[in-house]
Amino acid sequence: MSLGIFGGTFNPVHFAHLRLAEEVREALALERVLFIPSADPPHKDRDLAAANQRLEMVQLAIASNPSFEALDVELRRPGPSYSVDTLRMLSQRYAGKPLWFLMGTDTLAELDTWHEPETFLGLTNIAVVGRPGSLHCALELLVPERLAGSFVAGRGLLRHPSGHEIRSVPFPPLGVSASDIRRRVARGASIQYLVPDTVIDYIQKNRLYEGAA
C-alpha cells in the first residue's frame, strides 16, 4: 500500500493539518501518513519553535491515530531541510511502496522555486489539496511553466514521465492557520478547539509563542 508524506514546520500542528491528512489518507487509501517536521526549513517562519518541540507537538497530536506516524528524519540530517533529500531517503527505506507527497495548491504553484524540483517530481506522487481562499482551477494551470512541459494530462490528474502522478484531493476548507494560533497565544487569547488539548498543554508548559507578532 501507499504512504503519505506530510512535511512542514507544524509551528504548531493544528486540527486543519490533522483533518487534511485524514482526508487524503481516506481518498487515496493510504496505509499511513508520515508527518515530517522540518528542522531547518529554507523559508523559515517567524517565531519558529525549536525543531524537537515541533516534533513533540506532532507526536502528541497524532498519538491516538494508528494510521499517523511522526518521523524525525529531517531533525537528524544537518543542513537545510530539503524535501528532495527526504524523499531520496524514504524511497530507499520504503522501497516498493508508492509515496504521495501532500501539498497545497499554493505550494504546487511555487514548486519551481524548490531545491531540485525535477528530481523531486521523479521520486513521488503529489496529492494536491486546496487551501482556504485558494483558487480552484485545472491542475495543469497550477504547475509552474518551467515544469509543466514534462506532464501529460489525464482525467483529473497529471502524469509525469517517471510514472508518478499529480492528483487533486477535495478538502473542505478549515480556516485554521498556525500563524493565527501563534498570534492568539501572544495576546493571551484562547486556542481551544484549534489544536488538540495535549498540544495546548505543551505550548503553555513550554511558554511557546508568547512573543509572537
CATH number at residue 77: 3.40.50.620
The per-residue pLDDT for range 143-159, each reduced to its tens digit, is 999 999 889 988 878 99
Q: How far is the C-alpha of 166 from the C-alpha of 191, rounded, in Å?
A: 34
User: Is position 160 within any domain?
Assistant: yes
Which domain covers residue 129, as residue numbers?
3-173
Q: How confident is the model at residue 135 (pLDDT cuts 50, 70, 90)?
A: very low
Query: What was the pLDDT predicted at 42?
Result: 80
Q: How confident is the model at residue 132 (pLDDT cuts 50, 70, 90)?
A: low
pTM, two decimal places: 0.93
User: Is position 101 within any domain?
Assistant: yes
Partner residues linked to 166 by β-bridges? 126, 158
- The mean pLDDT value of the chain amounts to 92
Q: How confident is the model at residue 45 (pLDDT cuts 50, 70, 90)?
A: low
Task: Output the nine-digit C-alpha cell for 116.
Answer: 531540485
Query: What was the pLDDT predicted at 46?
Result: 67
Across the range 135-146, mean pLDDT stands at 77
Reply yes or no on whether the pLDDT at 162 is more than 90. yes
The total number of structural domains in the chain stands at 1
Query: What was the pLDDT predicted at 47?
Result: 78
User: Is position 197 within any domain?
Assistant: no
Of residues 162 and 175, more confidently modeled? 162
User: Is position 117 within any domain?
Assistant: yes
User: Is position 20 within any domain?
Assistant: yes
Across the range 23-51, mean pLDDT stands at 91
